[in-house]
Structure 1
Amino acid sequence: MPRVVGKLDTPIQLAIRLNMFEGYEEKLSFFTPGETFESVYGIRHQGKAKNNPHIHFAVESWVSEQTLRARIAKIFDNQKGNKNLSVKHWDGDETYIQYTLKELKDYAHLSEVLVVNSRTGGFLAVGTLEQLHARSRLVANEIKENTPTKICLKIAEQIIESEIRITDFEIFRQICIYLMTKGKFLPNKFQSERWIIQVKVCIAQIRDGRSGGTKSQEDVISQLYHNYFLNGY
């Protein structure tokens, strides 16, 4: 049998976020193992305010990231660019799968949000999904603690969900708004500097959790090193 044009010798692992718009539901059969995919896992999210429906996929793709992005954009064409979808390299780490389970309060309701889990193995086995869900709930419960670290994590999530442009001023503004809303004291200058850095770290960890990599955290480390040691040289 001749090799399919553009098909890779071995599948690559990718993380996909597809925002849901009118007409997309009927086209989800695209995410079925076959010529394009070796395996597919997908789960629905609604967002914090329950008004931002989207699906997170973890796939093994027989085509390149660029080709897959183009195929999805051609079929799911209600919006364009990041408003429509994102496709990123994923190293197969189960942290991303754990992240996708964060909105599932009760594992018994998995079938209500699971879109597809086909031709998968290892960490995507049903038993392991349950273990990852348990870990996800532990993280969610820890966030409820009102410590500065947990507050920074909440603010980081708000910034990412709102797609706010990330600047030191905007992070500081969000910290102040959050604390004032809760009736709490605002941090002093030196505390604020630490809080801003911690929010950046949380944003990086969330992004890397979604992509399965470490690039965002490495960028934060590089930026801090430059600010601490290289400014003025």
Structure 2
Amino acid sequence: MSLPVASANAAIHLGEVSKVFGKEGSNGAYRAVDKLNLDVAPGQMLALLGKTGCGKSTIFNMIAGLTEPTTGTVSVSGKNPFSDFDAFRGKMAIVFQGDRLLPWRTALQNVELGLEMLDSPPTDRKQTAKHWLVKLGLGGHENDYPHALSGGMRQRVSIARAFATNADILLCDEPFSALDESTASKLRAEFLRLVKENGKTAVFITHSISEALEIGDRIVVLKRPAMIAYDVSFNQDTSPEERTQIRARIGEVLAA
């Protein structure tokens, strides 16, 4: 396990964060996150792992600035993502479970969407979009509409759209769960390579132990309400035996 990142140097910081839906103390109140402390280092690929309902998506939404904590502090690159939401235009990109492509736009035009919102010049955004489509193996499909693409190809367009804005932070909400395992495995490897090559910080939500081990260089296992039950870091030099031990420990934590 690695030592916690100092908050001042963290790309993402959650300090004593709790999130309660409904009026706290009432019968209908639901505590999704409970006094969570979590720091994510710049350049880290963090896999957030846990059972359905453990608070993963709530944490994701707070980091994305879509909801604010009931108590505690959330900061991304030193700013509050909820109150300073506009400051994160082009700084943070999201890859969803579904590709969320606009059906009336071509692959190229879908990748250009974020760049349009950032007022990038038409020539520049077209060049950037084409670059990322080629990078993700979709050269020659720039003018195809989503209905003409396979599920894996559509998700590649979605990933290209996220990288095209050159955002420092990528948030991924089970982006490969709807794909067959062969396609998902290829995309995971490709996504991880691009994150590392381009020095991105990424938070990847998953409920799959295998996926977490495949894509993360750090895994945080959550128990309900979202609290850290296990936090482990590893790298390419981690032996198969150690990975087997990590897998077993994660299984024990999730079964508890």
Report if TM-score (shorter chain) is over 0.5: no
- The structure with more radius of gyration: 1
**Higher percent of residues as strand:** 2
Structure ranking higher on relative contact order (CA contacts 8 Å, 6+ apart) = 2
Q: TM-score category by the smaller chain?
A: under 0.3
**Higher percent of residues as helix:** 1
